[in-house]
Structure 1
Amino acid sequence: MQRFACLMIVCCAAGAALGEPHTIDDRAHHLGDNTLPEWKAFTTPEARSAPLKIDFEAAPNATEFTLKIQHRDLHSPWTVTLNGVSLGQLEKGKDPSFTALPVPANTLVAGSNTLVINSRDKKDDVVIGPVQLLDVSPRKVLNLGRVLVTVNDAAGGHVPARLTIIDAKGQLAKTWYTATEKTAVRPGVVYMLGDQTSIELPAGDYVITATRGMEWSMAKSPMTIESGQTATLPLTIQREVDTTGWIAADTHIHTLTFSGHGDASIDERMITLPGEGVELAVATDHNHHTDYRPYQEKLGVCDHFTPVVGNEVTTKNGHFNAFPLPPSGKENVPDWHQSDWVKLIDDIRAHGAKVVILNHPRWPRDDNNPYGNAGLNRGSGDRESGPTRMPMDAMELVNSCDGRTDPLIMLTDWFALLNHGEKLLAVGTSDSHTVYHHVGQGRTYVPSSTDDPSAIDVDQACKAFTDGRILVSYGIFANATVNGKYTLGQVVPVGNKPVKVSLRVACASWVGPRQAIVYVNGIKVAERTIEPHEGPLDTMLTFEGITPPHDGHLVCAVVGDPVDDQAYWMEHPHTFAATNPIYLDADGDGKYTTPRDTAAKRLADIDTVDQLRAALQKVDDAVAVQMFSLLRERWAGDKRSALDALARSMDQDRPLFARYLQDLSTH
């Protein structure tokens, strides 16, 4: 297919009457890299490469004009510049539509003018055009009216927030003349720092909702916009979840500026972080050490969060978030060409990182992801390839922007690895690349000696990560203690006595937790229904009579309804929270023994299937599966066949055995 560096159109826009549209290009251009015969009805099937360049004649514009661009099938950002002046982006969407962009006064020059429409994504097949220039402002073309919005807390002080604006058709509404250095704006979404913000909208009816992440209430108000008129809208939100002693961390955050994809610039990210209540913000652009501090200072948002320099070390064999790191940009970064996990993470730590996290372990596809490529058995934690130990500190249990990292699915992987003996902790993250996707929606709560978000001790926070004293959150806050005093990461002396688990569950009034579950060694040992509630929820659930037959790791999880509101759109079909493990010492030796090590001890004197069958009566399924896994490494021939037959006889109504055997047959 023939390729062009650009497509140049020369036409004349001078001489039309004031207020009439001047067609500066009357064609519909197919840009991209494919031949699409089905597009023959409205454009050429053959694509030409971006950018689209249109040269046209015009006179200077003493007032603001409007550029109207028709388009369809836009899936990536397409930018528009006129004589080198950025006018904005075309609105994404598959259906035929148009974008009207303001042309500031004095942008046009006498004689030749150049319009350029371009995208970084050269594979995005789109149709652009015709293009018209109108010598009136978009305020007239679109019948705009203005609303002045403020967002306050219960005490009357301004608070950063996200505004979601829905039109009468239930769609996200494009705003006009809203972007400033103190806002981050996308269709239907405006992040603001709380003080009065001017928003212009076409005349009509809207619903405007203010939010500030999962700890705060929602303020929702209907609004009628009248053309040429100005209205005011004060909104009040208040904190509904008490997280005293805990700070909200997001350890997976991107910018277009330094990651090269997504759409949130570094300045916009400084506005979205306070707007979602993120207090510890770890910058993790791909293979880049990003320092937020200069941008924080420039925009005056230092009081809202503590920044941490990090890096999403992006390899062909997985992505790893690492922090803290020196603010060196692209210089002196870990060797992201390294595919051996142990060598890679040793190198990451040599660069200064105290915390290393495996990101989205089941991304990007079923047939290509870190755990799948390693041949992870989701029943036993065995791996066919890769390192003999997991060298990272944690894995993402929640990634709120990756639809594949569903926490209910990832729990299975995590429990299998814990049962296999890995000391692998769980975190929640957002992985937000854009303004629209909520940064901090998936988050990790970290204990802190201060509740001042600008004064968080980063070293203290890192130690909490590696000690396992952290909570995973996706809309719900949950924390647990055992026997009234033992908490995350601690070893509980149990002996042969039952333990009492106390689980605090808290959420905002617009979140609905439904089920609380206690797992020991990944096996559900207790659960409780959480009844619907009015207003915010903060309740303590108690589970008694849990008696482990041997040492075990105890994890609590809470699952809730999805948030059915466009103001807090969620990728996954539920809200969620989980603790990290509390360790149960049932044998009284003063330490925690993993299920795999327990299995090895129980197998010391076992040499026949009959002996194994008797031993299995005294252990839970997690240890039993580890016993089978270890014996499969030792036994061969008839003994291996008898072992497998015994395992198959145990898989009915025993999910862990069924999962172990299923993965054993497929790997």
Structure 2
Amino acid sequence: MTLQPDVQTAMLGLSSTSGPTPFERFVYPGAMADEIGLAVESPELALEAVGPDTGLVLAVGSTSAVLAAMFQAHGQEALRVHGTVRGPSAGGAVYAADELGATQARALVDAGGGFELVVPRSVGRFFAQTASARAAVGDEAPRTSMVTTFEPGVPWPLLLDLEPAGTCTVHVFDGESDRPLTARLIVRGVGDTRDPWFGPDYRASGAGPIADLRDGTAEIDLPAGTYRVQATHGPMYSIDEVQLTVRSGAGVEATLRPRRVIPGLGLLSSDLHVHARPSYDSPVQAEDRVLSLVAAGVEFAVPTEHNVVGDYESALSFTGQEASLRFVPGVEVTTFAPKLGHFGVFPYPVDQKVPPYRGTSLAALFAAVRTDPGRVLVVHHPFLGHGMGYFDRDPRVAPERGAFGGLPLGFDAIELLNGYETLDAASLERTLAAWFGHRILYGWAGYPRTLIRVQDTGVPDLATLDLKNVTTALRGGRAQATTGPVVEVSVAGASPGETVKVSGKTVPVHVVVRAAPWIEVTRLDVYVGGLLATSVPIEPVGLRVGPERGTDDEVFARSVRLVRDLELAAPTGPSSVVVVVRGEKKLEWVLPATALPPIAIANPVWLR
């Protein structure tokens, strides 16, 4: 058959005399510049037009020839993947899927277990399946291999395993209390063993090579191979690790004990800009979001859904995490027609109409928020662009010169660290310049996070935590933002958010920098009045994961990377001191898909 560019019935169905033939569907982008010839040589196959939709092609058997022709016609890259299926693969097939798990290509497995297929670069997950129960010898259903991540186009082969999986039973305990710990499990292949893929990236029960364990226990099936299994509970904890070998049809057990390595310091680990459904841009269910927050060691969160008040009450009840996470309802006011920016507002009643977001003005929006003086108003991602950055609206905004054009400054906080701008060093520095002299928050699920100082020492008791005190501490600037490091700051005896009177020609600054053993810190920067006053290098240490041994005092002492007393020139008028700690090695060296640099930024200590 031949497909012509002007043919409207481009959705083709192929069937054989023995019944329908399995097929896959592919989206074909746009009209073809030239005709594409698709040869059908088997006399058993008949052509049947099944619909008027253009741009869709159905292929029987292996799809490589069809895809190669389609890509070639458009000058697009067609990448080949070849390999071997181990196990009862006779008559089976290999499938290629996108990041959401949708099948995009397939190839039949030959008698020797070999296969070859053509895929676009966006496809990187593969699995094999037997053709029928008969091919799987004794099985009542087709056997399917584990999903394996693989980069198309590389010269080495892909190995898929249809042999019976092994079972790995994992137990995670708190290394200090020895109680079961809600934690994130990370499983990576060692050597020739591929990383497992537990599911799409929006499921806490399994996303890529990670899974969040609600009660600290999991039983997972893995193909035979060697794996590195890790458990993490956020940057205040160590990451424990074991390496184990899984054998086909056999079981193996692993016990992990991540341990708190940063003392409490009165800090509440918080995430103040979080999305799940019903936000239009998040496929994450609220129950998955809650579990992911607890597994990451977040103790307080604000569900800031787009123009909908977020509420975690039912999700906490369903997951049984009421004692592990506190929250207040919130909303991200996402303005349009005109686009004025995005604004986090909390706490916000779940039964109250959200602030105006369509066809509104800044004055009306701010006035609606301020009907309750206890609310916190945050400027989210201030320089993100595309109508989402508040400071992008006025070309006169130049925060490095203290110029904000005609924009109202009636907000409480500027979001400094988030999942977008934190990845861009230039954008981060610009946002930092905008923030000097203002309060700070952040927003990305657990990394980064805000550490709110709700008491002088110790770990806050969530059962007795006064949520009004939390928002009061935020409005008072008693917080720091971090992707991992923790900084203690005292300026002439005053802490972040406090004001101190300067007398004399110098200002004493005391700084302690802490970090978990898997987080790098390399530099301390101190700013006075928004200008860099001094920079101090921090001696690097060997980063590590694994068991953390010793007494609490010994463990906490090892977390200290720098203790420094500084004498800075006193400013001539009202000013501020801001401490920033930085590292270079991104967290993704151990945390999958977390390409964030280590950084901690304490709120200003005000000088007068």
**What's the TM-score once normalised by structure 2's chain length?**
0.73
- Residue in 2 that maps onto 1:173: 195
- Residue in 2 that maps onto 1:333: 354
Indicate the percent of aligned positions where both proteins have the same amino acid.
22
Give the distance between the partners of 2:507 and 2:562, measured in 1 at CA.
20
Q: Secondary structure at the match of 1:252?
A: strand
Q: Secondary structure at the match of 2:367?
A: helix
- Residue in 1 that maps onto 2:498: 490
Is it true that 1:447 corresponds to 2:470 in the alignment?
no
Within 5 Å, give how 1:92-107 maps onto structure 2: 94-95=122-123, 98-99=126-127
Q: Secondary structure at the match of 1:500?
A: strand
Give the distance between the partners of 1:229 and 1:210, measured in 2 at CA.
22
- Residue in 1 that maps onto 2:412: 393
Give the distance between the partners of 1:42 and 1:402, measured in 2 at CA.
44
Equivalent position amino acid for 2:460 in 1: D
Shift of 1:562: 2.4
Q: 1:290 to 1:353 in 2, by over 3 A?
A: farther
Shift of 1:160: 1.1
- Tell whether the 8 Å contact from 2:483 to 2:600 is kept in structure 1 after alignment: yes
Equivalent position amino acid for 2:521 in 1: P
Q: 1:417 to 1:560 in 2, by over 3 A?
A: closer
Equivalent position amino acid for 1:138 in 2: T
Equivalent position amino acid for 2:358 in 1: H
Q: Select the residue among 249, 252, 260 that pairs with 1:231.
A: 252
Give the distance between the partners of 1:301 and 1:5, measured in 2 at CA.
53
- Tell whether the 8 Å contact from 2:25 to 2:59 is kept in structure 1 after alignment: no
Is it true that 1:472 corresponds to 2:481 in the alignment?
yes
Q: Select the residue among 146, 151, 157 that pairs with 2:167.
A: 146
CA offsets 1:143-165 (integer angstroms, 9 cap, x no match): 31110001112232111111111
- Tell whether the 8 Å contact from 2:490 to 2:496 is kept in structure 1 after alignment: yes
- Tell whether the 8 Å contact from 1:3 to 1:49 is kept in structure 2 after alignment: no
Within 5 Å, give how 1:63-74 maps onto structure 2: 70-71=95-96, 74=98
Within 5 Å, give how 1:530-569 maps onto structure 2: 530-533=538-541, 535-537=558-560, 539-563=562-586, 565-569=588-592
- Tell whether the 8 Å contact from 2:99 to 2:124 is kept in structure 1 after alignment: no
CA offsets 1:24-76 (integer angstroms, 9 cap, x no match): 424x5322654577996999xx995799999xxxxxxxxxxx9977346x355
Q: Secondary structure at the match of 1:285?
A: strand
Give the distance between the partners of 2:538 and 2:311, measured in 1 at CA.
42
Equivalent position amino acid for 1:529 in 2: P
Shift of 1:503: 1.3
CA offsets 1:331-352 (integer angstroms, 9 cap, x no match): 7222111453232122233378
- Residue in 2 that maps onto 1:323: 346
Shift of 1:200: 0.8
- Residue in 2 that maps onto 1:525: 533
- Residue in 2 that maps onto 1:290: 310
Is it true that 1:506 corresponds to 2:514 in the alignment?
yes
Within 5 Å, give how 1:67-82 maps onto structure 2: 70-71=95-96, 74=98, 78=102
Give the distance between the partners of 2:330 and 2:213, measured in 1 at CA.
25
Shift of 1:194: 4.2
Give the distance between the partners of 1:230 and 1:321, measured in 2 at CA.
48
Q: 1:75 to 1:137 in 2, by over 3 A?
A: closer
- Tell whether the 8 Å contact from 2:523 to 2:582 is kept in structure 1 after alignment: yes
CA offsets 1:170-208 (integer angstroms, 9 cap, x no match): 8973356x99xx952112011112432111111112211
Q: Secondary structure at the match of 2:227?
A: strand
Q: 1:4 to 1:163 in 2, by over 3 A?
A: farther
- Residue in 1 that maps onto 2:142: 136
Q: Secondary structure at the match of 1:259?
A: coil
Count of residue pairs the alignment pairs up: 504
Equivalent position amino acid for 1:505 in 2: V
Within 5 Å, give how 1:649-664 maps onto structure 2: none
Shift of 1:324: 0.6
Gaps of 5+ in 2: 40-51, 61-90, 105-118, 134-138, 146-160, 543-557
CA offsets 1:594-618 (integer angstroms, 9 cap, x no match): xxxxxxxxxxxxxxxxxxxxxxxxx
CA offsets 1:108-132 (integer angstroms, 9 cap, x no match): xxxxxxxxxxxxxxxxxxxxxxxxx
- Tell whether the 8 Å contact from 2:222 to 2:246 is kept in structure 1 after alignment: yes
Q: 1:320 to 1:142 in 2, by over 3 A?
A: farther
Equivalent position amino acid for 2:409 in 1: M
- Tell whether the 8 Å contact from 2:414 to 2:438 is kept in structure 1 after alignment: yes
**Larger proportion of helix:** 1
Give the distance between the partners of 2:243 and 2:566, measured in 1 at CA.
44
Q: Secondary structure at the match of 2:316?
A: helix
- Tell whether the 8 Å contact from 1:248 to 1:446 is kept in structure 2 after alignment: yes
- Tell whether the 8 Å contact from 2:224 to 2:247 is kept in structure 1 after alignment: yes
CA RMSD of aligned residues (A): 4.1
Q: 1:36 to 1:372 in 2, by over 3 A?
A: farther
Gaps of 5+ in 1: 16-22, 55-65, 81-90, 106-132, 431-438, 586-667
- Residue in 2 that maps onto 1:459: 468
- Tell whether the 8 Å contact from 1:184 to 1:272 is kept in structure 2 after alignment: no
Give the distance between the partners of 1:3 and 1:239, measured in 2 at CA.
65
CA offsets 1:271-304 (integer angstroms, 9 cap, x no match): 1111000000110111111210111112111111
Give the distance between the partners of 1:550 and 1:13, measured in 2 at CA.
90
Within 5 Å, give how 1:613-632 maps onto structure 2: none
Shift of 1:565: 4.5
Is it true that 1:247 corresponds to 2:268 in the alignment?
yes
Give the distance between the partners of 1:11 and 1:79, measured in 2 at CA.
20
Give the distance between the partners of 2:362 and 2:7, measured in 1 at CA.
41
- Tell whether the 8 Å contact from 2:306 to 2:331 is kept in structure 1 after alignment: yes
CA offsets 1:375-397 (integer angstroms, 9 cap, x no match): 2113323244x42x312111111
Give the distance between the partners of 2:332 and 2:17, measured in 1 at CA.
49
Shift of 1:525: 1.1
Give the distance between the partners of 1:556 and 1:357, measured in 2 at CA.
21
Give the distance between the partners of 1:174 and 1:36, measured in 2 at CA.
38
Q: 1:547 to 1:293 in 2, by over 3 A?
A: same
